[in-house]
Amino acid sequence: MSQIRSEISFFERKIIKLSLKHLALYLDNFGIKSSSFII
């Protein structure tokens, strides 16, 4: 059971890292628009 859990957590970490990268790219692409709205 512990082995399966460790594998799932490993994949979860990979997914989280990928989603964070996509979020960073999304914010970079629309950073100018969002910053202009904030300012």
In the predicted model, is pLDDT for residue 2 greater than 80?
no
Span 14-28, average pLDDT: 87
pLDDT at position 36, please? 57
What is the number of other CB atoms lying within 10 angstroms of the CB of residue 8?
Answer: 10
DSSP character string of 1-39: -HHHHHHHHHHHHHHHHHHHHHHHHHHHHTHHHHHHHH-
